[in-house]
Structure 1
Amino acid sequence: MGPEVTCPWRGRLPRFQVRTWIEPVVASTQVAASLYDAGLLLVVKASFGAGGPSNHSANPSPRGALEDEQQKAISNFYIIYNLVVGLTPLLSAYGLGWLSDRYHRKISICVSLLGFLLSRLGLLLKVLLDWPVEVLYGAAALNGLCGGFSAFWSGVMALGSLGSSEGRRSVRLILIDLILGLAGFCGSMASGHLFNQMAGHSGQGLVLTACSVSCAAFALFYSLFVLKVPESVASPSKDLPAVDTVSGTIGTYRTLDPDQLDKQTAAGYTSSPGKTKPPIYIIALLFVGAIVYDVAVVGTVDVMPLFVLREPLSWNQVQLGYGMAAGYTIFITSFLGVLVFSRCFQDTTMITIGMVSFGSGALLLVFVKQTYMFYIARAVMLFALIPITTIRSAMSKLIKGSSYGKVFVILQLSLALTGVVTSTVYNNIYQLTMDKFVGTCFALSSFLSFLAIVPISIVAYKQAR
């Protein structure tokens, strides 16, 4: 296959080449995930107390004891649920990544999609048969034992990296994230309306969960029978075998610049034999920056649904769906940001811009009292997706293509493990502070987001030397 495989949004396409695109799998999986996330929250909320469209109906007090107890019950559910979701992939995700590198790239994607389908079926059966919410822990465990999101997304990133050149990899990976965001936006916008399609205790949420199962099933069958692995175009040119594609220019970290490799090739730079190993300390700094930033993001995302369901916002099902959809708009703005910034900035600068964007938005969430203020804070987070995606792109330029699956799954498992701890800590902090200062978690996330800039700044300093 020719280089056109790496650029599905442009160029003339040979016959059947569209089958190498991972985008249909990402889109259908994310629609299923966004419907599932909204449905899970609303089903759990209904199970822990019959609150109507507003939380005022069951208690004459705006911030009564019933609302607080319901919030604590939902928070405790998510503490256990997130522990199961975060820890069970540790048993299988790395093995799936190793198998994908050694035998077939689709292994981690297909197996994890099977787990996604089983977990969505669990929520559907809970709604249909009125099972206790504890069965959802078992559904989450099945999902995790099949690799979960860690195995799925590392597989997606591996395929995206293999099918793109180093100079365009940041844009290629952020394009996949854009598809993820657009699909999540559509699913979230529809989730509140689909949840209310059938009335009654046993019927409410049935249409929503059935749609989620359908999308997950489509993603699995597409990946099994349609998707093909693209040929790698990331290898260096045969005409210039001496170009150091691992460490960039001679002894420096210039491969973080998306266009730097092409400039080196044009200038005829060659590497020295002693500079062919990847700079481990640079990879470690990127790992630290990604983990600290992810703690800030995960903590905010975990607490935000609880925050909007209580006073002072007290959102209903439809408003919740719209709010979740607003979170997916950052995929669009981050894509546009990378498209523009990659032409004039190095990756480290783009990462810093994204971290400042999220940290500023999290700080504004501390002072949210009305719905329009929430959306202003969300708008400030417009580049929040850039850091993690760009860090993945930077790492892929420092390692061999045959190691993509293992390295990406190690990063994803590290994020998942810290996410488990983050979820537990943040939910407990939220329970302790929701009556005193409900914005405590958002203030902490803002601090951590700015703190994550430190290791990235060290990388930039090393790059400039």
Structure 2
Amino acid sequence: MKGLYLVEPLVAFYSFASFLVYPLIQQYVYRRLWQELTNTTYPVSDNTSRCDPSNTSSHHEEVQKAASLFSLYTELFSMIPSLAVTLILVAYSDQRGRKITIILPLIGSLFYALSFLAVSFFELDLYLLIVSTFISALFGGSGTFLGGCFSYIADLCEDGQQKTLRMAGVDMVIGLLSGVASLSTGYFLQAAGFNWPFFTSALFQCFNLLYAVFILEETLQRPPDDPLDGSPRRTAMRQLACGVYQLFAGASRRRNILLVLLLLLFSSFSFANMGGLSMITLYELNQPLCWTEILIGYGSALSTTVFLTSFVGVTVFSRCGVPDLVIILMGILSVMAGMTLVAFAKTTLMMFLVRLPMLLAIMPFPVLRSMMSKIVSKNEQGALFACLACLDSVSISVAIAVFNSLYAATVTWYPGFCFLLSAGLCVIPLAMLAGVGLLGVEEGKEAKETEALIPGEEGLAGDENDNPPLT
């Protein structure tokens, strides 16, 4: 049977399986820590009892601190192995194919879901989850998986606008399926407990793995007369070093400065955005909101609609000729406004409404990926997305670790501090964006005749023999 060149089904099922349990993980850890620290049963039916300030036995702030520190430990133990695997695999895929960067993270995700199922079903020690997170990270994480998927798409798309829209489409698929999953988690948890959602997630990850192994076609084929010389590990490291070196060695200094600015813009924006988002569930569980699992599910589902609205925004603005730097600017300002409002949200209605200013928050990511993909040659796509996935993984992991530490330190006097910090940190990508704009000013006239996403791409690309343009 002929295979398919479609990674969108993989991304869809991966998103559904991941977000089916992602909102539940913090809730599960929160409830287990509640039972261990208070020696009482978590009050599910009467949600107000655990948030009553007059109830001194609740130790509410102590549980909040313990839950945030648990998330910190989890991120620290998963960051380094996931980062190393992402760097090696995605760069290595330039020569040996993209499927390995997709299959291995799916194996890790399946192990991760099964580990949560085992801990929940048999009521094992909670800290075994940190061990399982470390082991699953050895197969790569979401950064490896998405880096492989975006490299796969870059192999198939030659046209710049097509590449932008398809990458934005992947973000939209993530949003739609994660929204459906998040919406169902609260009802799933209330009706069946934690075991069935974890089991369902494992089933979807298993199906995804079968699709990747037996149905998905490889975009890059290794020639038969190109045997692997040396050990796979040594070859992978050599390909990684050569791929990253070629990203910068064969281009002009101006193009390299532009690429570095775009990478820093991407990672700093990811840090600010993900840092704030990672604390929303704990914030919703805290006083005075005290949300139930149903409300958390609704909130998570509403948050994921940002992927759909951002895709619509990228599509409409691109077709209307809005400059890409303006699209990125709107996305950054969207995050700044949303995070600022979250910091002052004290009612359920307000907490739902703060999602509205963030409806365009994902727009910068597909546009930046496409911009960077267009200024490197076709055989450097894997190295580019390896660097991008690496920076994204580092940014997200460090952001979650830093913001969990800050939340544990500030929850007693002002829980919204982390969200104000997230909004303030958006000034950094704004400064990077201004730098990109300044670099494009001198070459703007030459760029008007091209379809490039970046102003002055022709002037920045250097010599054609060193860095052939993508058409």
Shift of residue 436, structure 1, vs aligned partner? 1.7
Equivalent residue, structure 1, for 2:215: 226
Q: What does 1:276-287 align with in structure 2 at a 5 Å threshold?
A: 279-287=255-263
Partner residue in 2 for 1:78: 71
The answer as to 2:431 corresponding to 1:421 is no
Conserved 8 A contact 1:39-1:205: yes
1:42 and 2:49 correspond? no
Question: What does 1:69-218 correspond to in 2, within 5 Å?
Answer: 69-164=62-157, 165-198=159-192, 204-218=193-207
CA shift for structure 1 position 278: 7.6
Letter in 2 for 1:56: T
Q: Which runs of 5+ in 1 are unaligned?
A: 1-14, 199-203, 233-273
Q: Residues 347 and 229 from structure 1, CA distance in 2 versus in 1: closer, same or farther, beyond 3 angstroms?
A: farther
Distance between the aligned counterparts of 1:412 and 1:63, measured in 2?
46
Mapped to 1, the partners of 2:284 and 2:386 lie a distance apart of 33
Query: Which amino acid is 1:409 matched to?
Result: A
Other structure's SS at 1:57 match: helix
Partner of 2:431: 454
**Counterpart of 2:366?**
389
Residue in structure 2 matched with residue 363 of structure 1 by the alignment: 340
Q: Report the alpha carbon displacement of residue 163 of structure 1 after superposing the two structures with TM.
A: 1.6
User: Where does residue 49 of structure 2 map in the other structure?
Assistant: 57
Q: 2:410 aligns with which of 428, 433, 448?
A: 433
Give 1:51 deviation, angstroms.
Answer: 2.5
Partner amino acid for 2:191?
A: Q
| Aligned amino acid, residue 51 of structure 1 | Y
User: Which digits, 9 at most, give the CA deviation of each residue in 1:304-332, with x for residues without a partner?
Assistant: 11100011110111111111111110001
CA apart distance, 1:106: 0.5
Q: Kindly indicate whether the alpha-carbon contact (under 8 Å) linking 2:65 and 2:407 is maintained by their aligned counterparts in 1.
A: no
* Closer/same/farther in 2, CA of residues 56 and 222 from structure 1, 3 Å limit: same
Task: Output aligned runs, 1:19-38, within 5 Å.
Answer: 19-38=4-23
C-alpha separation between the residues in 2 aligned to 1:141 and 1:231?
Answer: 30
Compared with structure 1, are the counterparts of its residues 287 and 163 closer, same or farther at alpha carbon in structure 2 (3 Å cutoff)? same
- After the TM superposition, which of the residue ranges 185-194 and 96-105 deviates more from structure 2? 96-105
Please identify runs of 4+ aligned residues in structure 1 that moved more than 4 A.
62-65, 274-278
- With CA pairs under 8 Å and 6+ residues apart, which has the higher RCO, 1 or 2? 2
Structure 1 residues 247-326: aligned runs within 5 Å: 279-326=255-302
Q: Go from structure 1 to structure 2 and tell me whether the alpha carbon gap of 1:398 and 1:40 turns closer, same or farther (over 3 Å shift).
A: same
SS in 2 for 1:146: coil
SS at match of 2:48: coil
Is the Cα contact below 8 Å between 1:364 and 1:377 reproduced in 2? yes
Counterpart AA for 1:133:
L
Q: Secondary structure at the match of 1:385?
A: coil
Report the Cα distance in structure 1 between the residues aligned to 2:54 and 2:414, rounded to whole angstroms: 16
| Amino acid of the structure 2 residue aligned with 1:329 | T
CA separation of 1:275 and 1:409: change in aligned 2, threshold 3 A: closer
Q: Cα distance 1:275–1:281, how it changes in 2: closer, same or farther (>3 A)?
A: closer
Once the 2 structures are TM-superposed, how far is the Cα of residue 230 of structure 1 from its aligned partner? 4.7
Q: How far apart in 2 are the matches of 1:59 and 1:425? A: 26
Following the alignment from structure 1 to structure 2, what is the Cα–Cα distance between the partners of residues 29 and 176? 12
Tell me the distance in 2 between the aligned counterparts of 1:306 and 1:192. Answer: 15
For the 8 Å contact 2:96–2:220, the answer to whether it is kept is no
Task: Look up the SS of the partner of 1:73 in the other structure.
Answer: helix
Whether the aligned pair in 2 keeps the contact of 1:23 and 1:176 (CA below 8 Å) is yes
Shift of 1:135: 1.2
Greater CA deviation, 36-45 or 334-343? Answer: 36-45
Q: Contact 1:286–1:455 at 8 Å: present in 2 too? A: yes
Q: 1:359 & 1:397 partners in 2: Cα distance? A: 28
Do the aligned residues in 2 keep the contact of 1:278 with 1:399 (CA within 8 Å)? no
TM-score (norm 2): 0.82
Tell me how far apart the structure 2 counterparts of residues 51 and 137 of structure 1 sit (CA, whole Å).
Answer: 22
**Residue type matched to 1:36 in 2?**
V
Cα 1:61/1:210, change in 2 over 3 Å: same
Alpha-carbon distance change, 350 to 44 in structure 1, aligned in 2, over 3 angstroms:
same
Measured in 2, the distance between the counterparts of 1:56 and 1:371 equals 14
Which amino acid in 2 is paired with 1:46? Answer: R
Deviations 1:241-260 (A, max 9, x none): xxxxxxxxxxxxxxxxxxxx
AA matched with 2:170: I
Amino acid in the other structure paired with 1:186 = V
Q: Following TM superposition, by how much is the alpha carbon of 1:336 offset from its aligned partner in structure 2, in angstroms?
A: 0.4
Q: How many Å separate the matches in 1 of 2:355 and 2:51?
A: 30
CA distance, structure 1, for counterparts of residue 341 and residue 182 of structure 2: 23
Q: Shift in Å at residue 211 of structure 1? A: 0.7
Which deviates the most, 364-373 or 49-58?
Answer: 49-58
Q: Which amino acid aligns with 2:325?
A: T
SS at match of 1:452: helix
- Select which of 415, 419, 442 maps to 1:442: 419
For residues 212-260 of structure 1, give each alpha carbon's deviation from its aligned partner in whole angstroms, at most 9, with x where no partner exists. Answer: 101111111111111113589xxxxxxxxxxxxxxxxxxxxxxxxxxxx
SS at match of 1:20: coil
TM-score of the superposition, structure 1-length normalised?
A: 0.83
> Tell me, what secondary structure is at the counterpart of 2:359?
coil
8 Å contact kept, 2:49–2:55: no
How far did 1:60 drift? 4.5
Question: Is the contact between residue 23 and residue 281 of structure 2 (CA under 8 Å) also seen in structure 1?
Answer: no
Question: What is the alpha-carbon distance in structure 2 between the residues aligned to residue 292 and residue 414 of structure 1?
Answer: 9
Deviation at 1:424, TM superposition (A): 2.2
